[in-house]
Amino acid sequence: MNILVINAGSSSLKFQLYDMTDESVLAKGKVERIGMESAILSYEPAGKPEVREVREILEHTTAIRKVLDILVHKEFGVLKSASEIQAVGHRVVHGGESFSSSVLIGDEVKREIRRLFDLAPLHNPAHMLGIQAVEANMPDIPQAVVFDTAFHQTMPPFAYLYPIPMVLYKKHKIRRYGFHGTSHAYVSERAAAFLGKPLKELKLVTCHIGNGASCAAVMEGRSVDTSMGLTPLEGLMMGTRSGDIDPAIVPFAMSKEDLTLAEVNSMLNKHSGLLAISGLSSDMREITEAREAGDRNAALAFDMYEYRLRKFIGSYAAAMNGIDAIVFTAGVGENSAALRAAVCRNLSFLGVKLDDAANEARSSEERAITTPDSPVASLVIPTNEELVIARDTHQLILNRDHVV
């Protein structure tokens, strides 16, 4: 079965085409600057040269049509016809309290995703555009949605509620949801396989640290806490997001700096984090280089980022009454040996014994960066959210066909 995985943003659309007989990627790519005359389609077919086209793509329906066109292109294509795609799986950021697993799309699911627009105004409307664009181009194809929040629906109420008046939860569903769930679930499973132990017997802290960053406490394979909350702003310090701050800063800064709600929202989401403290960049590569070259603000940004991450790991060890392993994933987690070293060295009290050579080794493989006798293992596990979406979609189709 061939499955097309789509991650639709407001002006971009990423795609990967999987052959589920061996889970190989037949092609992948993205369309950027949707809505502009000079939109960019980048396309990487397996075993063939990459293609990059600049052309007018004004909306998502056209973007999907261009993707289908190139997938069946005489020269660059990997399929003879679009009918060789049997299903489409979409990433959807917010599933609220309604979805604790992936589902096939029907009218009720679409209504619910729309009802959740309020909770994820930057993401869910864009995902809906992607879903509708597929419907317009492939009216009969089954589509599934895989939610970033679903894995964290196992959090207990004492972890997901905020200590604020209950009316806000009851009326408006203001609570902690968590994100990056697909990634936390995937790396947890891989960590258990790597350690050769059943997931049911493990207490893990998974750290998904990319541009956005979150960590999760995963006990017996279930998320029991995670650092992001109602929105992806809560928790860890990130590239441009503040993470946790005193909420009283919001009205205080608004009055002192004469900011509107939109301005303070933008400040905390787009102009904070590594970027604000370093005054240089939101990119951990540049921060690390500048720090090594003696830039004090970059060093401060790095230290704050590491300190806040380490405190979360420590708090999750308390939340689960111990940990068996820490898992690093996503852009920073997979690539920044400096950050991993700083975190692990300062967690020796928990039983983390860093293996410097293993940590420094350049590899894209799953690996341990602690010594074999380390009581708590630290692992680097490359994430693969697209594969999870393809697998969930595949399983939903197989189950549906089984029921029919």
Site of interaction with ligand ADP (CB under 6 A): 210-212, 239, 283-285, 288, 330-332, 335-336
Annotation-wise, does 187 bind a ligand? no
285 is in an annotated binding site: yes
- Shortest separation between residue 331's beta carbon and ligand ADP, angstroms: 2
In degrees and rounded to multiples of 5, residue 23 shows phi and psi of 55, 30
Smallest distance, ligand ADP to C-beta of residue 135, A: 27
Nearest-angstrom CA–CA distance, 48 and 275: 38
Cβ distance to ligand ADP smaller for residue 95 or 331: 331
CB 274 → ligand ADP: shortest distance, Å?
8
Identify which of residues 12 and 153 has a Cβ nearer to ligand ADP in the complex: 12
Catalytic residue chosen out of the listed positions 148, 295, 324, 392: 148
DSSP codes of every residue in 252-300: HHHHHHT--HHHHHHHHHHS-HHHHHHSS-S-HHHHHHHHHTT-HHHHH
Active site residue 148: yes
Whether 280 contacts 295, CB under 8 Å:
yes
Q: Which two tokens stand for residue 120?
A: 């994820």
Nearest to 29 by CA among 11, 10, 4: 4
State the nearest-atom distance from the C-beta of 382 to ligand ADP, in Å. 10
Choose between 82 and 92: whose C-beta lies nearer to ligand ADP.
92
Would the annotation count 294 as a binding residue? no
As a whole number of angstroms, the distance between CA 134 and CA 190 comes to 31
For ligand ADP, the closer of residues 142 and 210 by Cβ is: 210
Q: What 3-state DSSP class applies to 121?
A: coil
Give the Cα separation of 338 and 76 in Å (integer): 40
Shortest gap between Cβ of 131 and ligand ADP (angstroms)? Answer: 21
| Element containing residue 64 per DSSP (H, E) | helix 60-71
Burial degree of 258 (CB within 10 A; 0-12, 13-18, 19+) = exposed
Count of residues in the chain: 404
> Considering the complex, what minimum distance in angstroms separates the CB of residue 335 from ligand ADP?
3
Q: Which is nearer to ligand ADP, 93 or 317 (CB)?
A: 93
Which 3-state string (H, E, C) describes 188-239?
Answer: HHHHHHHHCCCHHHCEEEEEEECCCEEEEEEECCEEEEECCCCCCCCCCCCC
In the complex with ligand ADP, the residue whose CB is nearer, 1 or 337, is 337
Query: Does 346 appear as a known binding residue?
Result: no
* Residue 273 assigned to a binding site: no
Pick the closer one to ligand ADP by CB: 85 or 120. Answer: 120
Q: What is the largest CA-CA distance in the chain?
A: 65
The reply, when asked if residue 89 is annotated as ligand binding, is no
333 marked among binding-site residues: yes
Gap between the Cα atoms of 290 and 249, Å rounded: 29
Q: Which two tokens stand for residue 241?
A: 């997001």
CB 65 within 8 A of CB 32: no
How far is the C-alpha of 301 from the C-alpha of 305, rounded, in Å? 6
Taking the complex as a whole, the smallest distance from the CB of residue 40 to ligand ADP amounts, in Å, to: 17
Exposure string over 62-92, b if 16+ CB within 10 A, otherwise e: bbbbbbbebbbeeebbbbeebeebebbbbbb
Are the C-beta atoms of 226 and 258 separated by less than 8 Å?
A: no
Place of tokens 């068996």: 324
Q: Which amino acid is at 283?
A: D
Q: What are the binding residues for substrate?
A: 91
Q: What are the binding residues for Mg(2+)?
A: 7, 385
Q: What are the binding residues?
A: 7, 14, 91, 208-212, 283-285, 331-335, 385
Catalytic center residues: 148
